[in-house]
């Protein structure tokens, strides 16, 4: 979806969730700035991602979780249409 990202990630116990999310957000922001904004360096003070993040466990049913993520946009659009009809 345009305004958020769902990213199923398996994190080994030796890394904290905050470390992994910080790494992903930091490296992807630099890559996006270089690729689409023409920036070569000096990223200090730049903001790309929102400050927070949501973490949830998927348990052992990885197939159901991946299916949910794939169908999320379709379900959200359907609910938006229903709410607009009321």
Catalytic residues: 68
Per-residue pLDDT at 20: 92
Two structure tokens written together for 25: 């957000």
Residue % of the chain over a pLDDT of 70: 72
pTM exceeding the 0.75 threshold for the entire prediction:
no
Q: For residue 5, how many C-alpha atoms fall within 13 Å in the half-sphere facing its CB? A: 11
Neighbouring C-beta atoms of residue 22, cutoff 10 Å: 13
Per-residue pLDDT at 14: 93
Alpha-carbon 20 to chain mean position: 12
pLDDT tens for each residue of 11-34: 888 999 899 988 998 888 888 878
pLDDT tens for each residue of 41-57: 666 666 677 677 767 77
Alpha-carbon 35 to chain mean position: 19
Q: Are 36 and 53 in contact (CB under 8 A)?
A: no
């Amino acid at each position: 979806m345009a305004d958020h990202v769902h990213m199923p990630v398996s994190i080994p116990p030796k890394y904290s969730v905050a470390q992994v999310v910080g790494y992903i957000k930091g490296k992807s922001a630099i890559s996006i700035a270089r690729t689409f904004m023409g920036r070569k360096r000096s990223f200090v003070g730049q903001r790309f991602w929102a400050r927070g993040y949501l973490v949830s466990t998927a348990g052992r049913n990885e197939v159901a979780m991946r299916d949910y993520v794939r169908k999320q946009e379709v379900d959200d659009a359907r609910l938006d249409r229903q709410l607009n009809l009321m």
